[in-house]
Amino acid sequence: MTMRYPAVVTREGKNVVAEFPTCPGCQTFAPSGRDIEHEAKEALELWLESNLQQRMLPPRPPRSFKARTGTLLWVPVDPKLAVKLELRWMRDDLGLTQAELANLAGVSQPAIAQLESPDSNPTIDTLNRVAGAMGAQIDFHPSTGGSVKSYARQLRRLAPGPERRRVLAAMREHLSRRTSRQVRAVGAALRVRR
């Protein structure tokens, strides 16, 4: 399952505002007509990365959330960042220091610090060793067809006419070139599984 955080989207004057109630201080806006989903994803990931950079543990995303006002938007987290967060939360749950986890995983403490840094690009081998030391494993799973969702989102925004027909034609062509297995594989994402 993709890691997602809830954002409450409201209008303020000519702008659309997205605020993350479970992430204190994380909010963004976009002028009307601009894609608030993109702005919200960028703001959330910068907020999460900033927490990791400052060695603070960001809150886990809630499984459910009810917005009192506005529209609820579930914003996905990049899989690479999501894996780092999952591993960091697991280390915290187990009460391990970076040095203790490094010893269990057979890597150096700086390797663990690097793994938890938002700027790093760890190898699959390192991820597997660290996850294994905490009783977890890294695996791939198919996502729910992001490209189809993207087309559907575009279609909902378009009124009937030539632009809508153009998007439908592009969608048909894109999907006709792939088998169902290929469509699922294209959307594969990384996750940590206990």
Q: Does residue 29 fall inside a structural domain?
A: yes
Q: Output 176 or 165, whichever has higher pLDDT.
A: 165
Inform me whether the pLDDT recorded for 17 exceeds 80. yes
Q: Does residue 99 fall inside a structural domain?
A: yes
Q: Output 183 or 135, whichever has higher pLDDT.
A: 135
**Which of 64, 69, 75, 66 has its CA nearest to residue 10?**
69
Compute the Cα dihedral for 98, 22, 147, 139 and give only its sign: positive
What residue has token string 């938007």?
73
pLDDT, residue 165, reads: 75
Out of 59-73, 75-89, 145-159, pick the least confident.
145-159
Residue 140's pLDDT band (cuts 50, 70, 90): low
Inform me whether the pLDDT recorded for 127 exceeds 70. yes
| 88 touches 101 (CB < 8 A) | no
Residue 185's pLDDT band (cuts 50, 70, 90): very low
Specify whether 163 is located in the same domain as 107: no
Q: Does residue 141 fall inside a structural domain?
A: no
Inform me whether the pLDDT recorded for 102 exceeds 70. yes
Specify whether 71 is located in the same domain as 119: no
Specify whether 118 is located in the same domain as 169: no
Q: Which of 76, 108, 123 is the last residue of a domain?
A: 76
pLDDT tens string 29-81: 999 888 899 999 999 999 999 999 998 999 999 999 998 888 999 999 998 89
Q: How many domains does the chain have?
A: 3
Q: Which of 33, 56, 76 is the last residue of a domain?
A: 76
Give the DSSP per-residue string, 31-56: ETTS-HHHHHHHHHHHHHHHHHHTT-
